[in-house]
């Protein structure tokens, strides 16, 4: 029983965190880095 509650609580927090981060515009930061290459950051140098 306890274990299930933990599962649901974590799932809820995770979803909330993800949505909060998305609303804050964090996915733009991800896109910025993922759509271009900083060479030395990738280990090419």
Partner 1 sequence: MADFRTHRRKRKAVQGLWALLTNAHLSGFVTGRIYSGPLKRFCVPVMNCYACPGALGACPIGALQAMVTGRRPRFAFYVLGWLALLGVLVGRFICGWLCLFGLIQELLYKIPTPKLTVPRALDKRLRYLKYGILLVVVILLPTILRDEFGLSVPYFCKWICPVGMLEGGVPLALLDRGIREAAHALYAWKLAILILVLLLSVFIHRPFCKYVCPLGAFYALFQKISVLHVEVDKDACVECGACARTCKMQVNPAKTPNSTECIRCGECIHVCPKNALKFRFTGKEASGAERRTT
Partner 2 sequence: MKKTLLIVLLCLLLAVSACGKTEIRPTEDASAPEAAAQTLSFETTDLNGNAVSSEELFSAHKITMVNVMTTWCTYCIQELPELQKLGETYAEKDCGVVGILYDGTDDALIETGRSLMEQAGASYTVLLPWEGVETQIPVQAFPTTFFVSSDGEIVGETILGAEPARYVTQLDALLAQTAE
The residues that touch partner 2, with contacts defined as CB under 8 A, are 32-33, 36-41, 44-45
Query: Shortest distance, CB of residue 14 to partner 1, whole angstroms?
Result: 4
Spatial separation of the C-alpha atoms in residues 29 and 35, rounded to whole Å: 10
Per-residue interface string for the shown chain with partner 1, residues 3-32, x marking contact by CB under 8 A: xx-xx--xx-xxxxxxxxxx-x-xxxxxxx
- Considering all CA atoms of the chain, what is the largest pairwise distance in Å, rounded to the nearest integer? 53
Spatial separation of the C-alpha atoms in residues 41 and 26, rounded to whole Å: 20
Choose the contact partner of 1 out of partner 1, partner 2, none; CB within 5 to 8 A by kind. none
């Amino acid at each position: 029983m306890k274990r299930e509650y933990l599962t649901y609580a974590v799932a809820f927090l995770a979803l909330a965190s993800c949505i909060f981060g998305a609303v804050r515009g964090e996915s733009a930061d991800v896109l910025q880095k993922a759509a271009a290459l900083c060479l030395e950051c990738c280990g090419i140098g």
